[in-house]
């Protein structure tokens, strides 16, 4: 917890929070999944950029990379929090949106640790996440989608994709057999054709 002095010289506890990163948020919003690496390169100490990279790796089943990227994100976040007076074990509330990269990084690192068989590490990360904000795991599961950077597809684009897929499937079947699919034979009442 940080203490701040009010105008009347009384002290008041404030909760820890990460620095706001509007330029990183904007770069991520303007980009797509493929551009996140460039955002990290442009902002190499950004917990938010590293967390996005970790979540992409996690969503693609790349546990080693997810673990590594989330570790970097969490470490940069801990450094920022400590610089503002935070001590490990103190609250880092999900309600403050600036803190979400840290909490998401801990959760991504925890999931990757489980996938990698690092169960002791996963338990420690779960404990750290719970002490930071006991509601964070449920909030992450219900409110956050690791694939949020996927571009929005219009319904017209969906119909075009479906039509293209249907045409490609028919062409693939014809290419494999050399002939179009034959109509099934019609059986007479006796069961013979």
Beta bridge partners of 13: 3
Residue 93: how many CB atoms within 10 A of its CB?
17
Mean pLDDT for the chain overall? 79
167 in Cβ contact with 174 (< 8 Å): no
Retrieve residue 149's tokens: 């950077």
Query: Which one is predicted more confidently, 160 or 34?
Result: 34
Question: At which residue do the structure tokens 């979400």 appear?
Answer: 100
1 in Cβ contact with 90 (< 8 Å): yes
Predicted local confidence at residue 167, as pLDDT: 55
Would you say how long the chain is, in residues?
193
Predicted local confidence at residue 146, as pLDDT: 53
Specify the pTM: 0.69
CA distance 94 to 99: 6
Predicted local confidence at residue 36, as pLDDT: 96
Span of 113-117, 118-122, 160-164 with lowest mean pLDDT: 160-164
Predicted local confidence at residue 96, as pLDDT: 94
CA distance 117 to 92: 27
CA distance 53 to 87: 26
DSSP-derived secondary structure letter, 2: E
pLDDT one-digit tens code per residue, 15-66: 789 999 999 999 999 999 999 999 999 999 999 999 999 999 999 999 999 9
Q: Which of 110, 50, 57, 96 is nearest to 75 (CA)?
A: 50
User: Which residues neighbour 172 within 8 Å (Cβ) at sequence distance 6 or greater?
Assistant: none
Q: What percent of the chain has pLDDT over 90?
A: 61
């Amino acid at each position: 917890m940080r203490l701040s002095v009010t105008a009347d010289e009384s002290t008041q506890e404030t909760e820890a929070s990460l620095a706001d990163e509007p330029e990183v948020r904007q770069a991520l919003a303007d980009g797509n999944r493929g551009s996140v690496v460039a955002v990290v390169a442009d902002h190499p100490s950004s917990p938010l950029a590293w967390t996005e990279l970790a979540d992409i790796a996690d969503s693609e089943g790349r546990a080693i990379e997810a673990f590594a990227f989330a570790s970097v994100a969490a470490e940069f976040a801990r450094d920022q929090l400590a610089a503002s007076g935070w001590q490990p074990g103190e609250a880092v509330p999900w309600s403050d949106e600036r803190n979400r990269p840290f909490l998401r990084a801990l959760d991504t690192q925890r999931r990757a640790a489980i996938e990698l068989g690092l169960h002791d590490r996963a338990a420690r990360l779960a404990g750290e996440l719970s002490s930071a904000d006991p509601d964070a795991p449920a909030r992450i599961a219900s409110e956050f989608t690791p694939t949020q950077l996927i571009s929005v597809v219009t319904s017209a684009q969906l119909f075009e994709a479906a039509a293209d897929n249907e045409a490609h499937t028919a062409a693939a079947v014809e290419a494999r057999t050399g002939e179009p699919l034959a109509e099934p034979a019609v059986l007479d009442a006796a069961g013979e054709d």
